[in-house]
Amino acid sequence: MPDVKLTIDGEPVAVPTGTTILKAAEHLGRSIPTICYHDHCTANGLCRICVVEVSGVGPLVPACLTPVNEGMKVTTASARAERSRRTILEMLASAVDLSEAPEIQKFIGEYRAQGARFPEAQRREYPVLDDNPMYIRDYSKCILCWRCVQVCAADAQFTYAINFTGRGFETGIGTFFDKPMPETTCVFCGQCVGVCPTGALKPKRESLLEQGLRPDEIIEATRGGGNRRGKPR
Ligand code: SF4
Ligand code: FES
């Protein structure tokens, strides 16, 4: 494939046609922050933390899914892009439990985001779903990055056990007809847990260990099918 030539933060780079700005920047050793993006998932541009400025283009563009163009001039860390990233982080912190999201916590520190900037914001709070022996679902920690849905679907497993539910503020991740996991097509492959960046999906054993159970109690608790649903830990 012919190379496309562009500049990123004033530095020239040539990358194959179809390369995204994110990957072109990595080529130069530059890191653009990402949250919803995962190397093994289809980019959907949901979180917008990766926005950059492109000369001659009005809106900020998401680096994770915008392909490079010949002659493009990209600025990855302009004041405008950084302000946008900071606001996104502040909105996330105001509504979601990020206590087990170390990458996002790191960005919050780097961008000096104020977690208390929107004190009136309604927090997304849900009971922990504990309905199977393999993993728990704590959607109070969910940032709706969609990675779990993607790996459950056409990015990996082709199982389609979960998807978006609801609309607007009520948008969430769930099963069809809100069924418990064992009653869905879930094969408990664990790929959703593996790509979740916030601890919203967590191995049951890890959760029980955190609750102070002994190894024999954990084995006992995870041997059979889970039957508690919506019960807080
Ligand atoms: S459960 Fe995890 S992987 Fe799934 S959308 Fe929420 S934060 Fe993303
Ligand atoms: S990382 Fe690009 S939109 Fe989320």
Q: What is the mean pLDDT of residues 45-66?
A: 97
Nearest CA among 124, 98, 118, 67 for reference residue 198: 98
Measured from the CB, is residue 136 less than 6 Å from ligand 1? no
Q: How far apart are CA 119 and CA 169, in angstroms?
A: 17
Q: Please check the confidence at residue 232 and state whether its pLDDT lies above 70.
A: no
* pLDDT, tens only, 155-176: 999 999 999 999 998 999 999 9
What's the CA-to-centroid distance between 231 and ligand 2, angstroms?
32
> Under a CB-based contact definition with an 8 Å cutoff, are residues 151 and 41 in contact?
yes
For tokens 């520190």, name the residue: 109
Say if ligand 1 is within 6 A of residue 200 CB: yes
Residues of the chain with CATH 3.10.20.740: 3-80
pLDDT of residue 153: 97
pLDDT of residue 229: 41
Closest-approaching ligand to the CA atom of 196:
1
Q: Which atom of ligand 1 is nearest to the CA of 144?
A: 5
CATH class assigned to 3-80: alpha beta
CB of 107 closer than 6 angstroms to any ligand 1 atom? no
Ranges of CATH 3.30.70.20 domains, the chain: 135-223
For residue 84, what pLDDT band results from cuts at 50, 70 and 90?
very high
Residue-wise pLDDT for 128-159, tens only, equals 999 999 999 999 999 999 999 999 999 999 99
Question: pLDDT exceeding 70 applies to what percent of the chain?
Answer: 95
Q: Quick one: which of 80, 188, 195 has its CA closest to 135?
A: 188
Q: Is ligand 2 within 6 A of the CB of residue 218?
A: no
State if pTM tops 0.75. yes
The domain defined by 135-223 folds into Alpha-Beta Plaits (3.30.70)
